[in-house]
Structure 1
Amino acid sequence: MKFFLIAGAVNGLLAVAFGAFGAHMLEGRVADKYLDTWQTAVQYQMFHSIGLIAVAILMSSALIGPLGSLNWAGYLMLAGIVIFSGSLYVLSLTGISVLGAITPIGGVAFIAGWVMVIIAASKAL
């Protein structure tokens, strides 16, 4: 639970920093489509940072508690941030289009993470 709270906070911090970097340092240096791609990466990183914090709160809650499915949810969201957002960040900076083939793996990890939250809630409530 502590791990996911810290991971969520660190990723939230990084999402804000990367968002500012993209807005101030990349404008005029990369094509507009790559700025949009960068912003997508920032948004998904922030959404799932909040998701990680929610997982930590749910794990500490008497209502749901530390279920294995919540553990999976946290790790899948974290993997999704690294793979989805990470590949989009690198794509934006390098223009290496083959990285677009990796991005959906992170998207599937995000989806699976939310499915695990649903499973945890259905077991507990």
Structure 2
Amino acid sequence: MSQFTLLFASILGGLAVIFGAFGAHALKKILNEDQLKSFETGVKYQLYHAIVLLVIGFNLSLDTTLEKYMVYSFMIGIILFSFSIYGLVISSANNKKLKFLGPITPLGGLLLVCGWILLCFSILNL
């Protein structure tokens, strides 16, 4: 589980750098200021939580059910939160806003919060 977590975190971290550069250079020409800020929020949250997964993967055994739920909450939360923001921003810039993604963003955020809460419980159980 630790190796999978580290691999997933490293892929998401690398993608965050790529998406950040893409947003700063290519999308800067087609997005308005609010859209660009939203895109940057997705990138920041993706990178922050990829770093959290790296720290968790290197420091916890990830053997318990609690720790596994914590990791999955972070992983799924990152994908739902950040990638729904990317989809919303890019689709609205093309005047074809994918409205079904709107409710997915807060669901991803809720999973990220759950990951943090489970991390607290994991630390308290040590």
| Alpha-carbon distance between aligned partners in 2 of 1:53 and 1:72, rounded to the nearest angstrom | 16
- Answer yes or no: is 1:106 the counterpart of 2:108: yes
CA-based RMSD of the aligned residues comes to 1.3
* Corresponding residue of 1:74: 71
| Alpha-carbon distance between aligned partners in 1 of 2:49 and 2:64, rounded to the nearest angstrom | 19
Aligned pairs for 1:1-125 (under 5 A) are 1-60=2-61, 66-95=63-92, 96=97, 98=99, 99-124=101-126
1:27 aligned counterpart, secondary structure: helix
Q: When the two structures are superposed, what TM-score results if normalisation uses the length of structure 2?
A: 0.89
The gaps in structure 1 that reach 5 residues or longer are: none
Count of paired positions: 120
- Of the structure 1 ranges 93-102 and 47-56, higher mean CA displacement relative to structure 2 is found in 93-102
The gaps in structure 2 that reach 5 residues or longer are: none
Q: Percent identity?
A: 33
C-alpha deviation, 1:97, in angstroms: 6.1
| Alpha-carbon distance between aligned partners in 1 of 2:120 and 2:56, rounded to the nearest angstrom | 11
